[in-house]
Amino acid sequence: MSASEPASFHGTTILSVRKAGKVVLAGDGQVSFGQTVLKSNARKVRPLGSKGTVIAGFAGATADAMTLFERLEAKLESYPDQLTRAAVELAKDWRTDRFLRRLEAMMIVADARVTLLLTGTGDVVEPESGVAAIGSGGNYALAAARALIDTDLSAEQVARKAMKIAAEICVYTNDAVTLASLDAPDAP
């Protein structure tokens, strides 16, 4: 990083695993600014909505993510028990609103029925194979979770093991993992 470039927030790893009647969201705890670790135990995964029936995790600037969490919670109030609809409405706003367009974050959100990856370019993607990941260590966690998904490990065990592997590879990911889970029916 040169002296003229501002330091930027890097990294995180958020992983979602859906298996055997459970959906688990895992996030590491590291917050980095340039080459400095500012915090090692941040909570990047949390329940959303008044009933806690949605779990969400973010990668990107913290203030931007909190803004998006608040906006998604408002959409969930407008469209109760309709996560996909709420996510699409948020993605529309995120892409078209002058203020929201500048937010730098990605999100994974899940309820009992669906897991979605949301981006500022208007993407609302339902992942294949019950696994999704974002952030600088996301591809490492995703590959590990895909390799482990067909084993006898539970959704939580897959998530923990995949996050451990990502933390061993990605310098912007640590092993201070926060988990959130929901009971979820298996896909047909």
What's the start-to-end Cα distance of the chain, in Å? 49
CA distance 57 to 177: 12
- Check: CB of residue 24 under 8 Å from CB of residue 159: yes
Active site residue 173: no
Residues contacting 140, CB < 8 A, separation 6+? 13, 165, 166, 169, 170, 173
Tally: H helices and E strands in the chain: 4, 12
Residues contacting 91, CB < 8 A, separation 6+? 118, 119, 122, 123, 124
CA distance 184 to 120: 27
Residues with catalytic function? 12
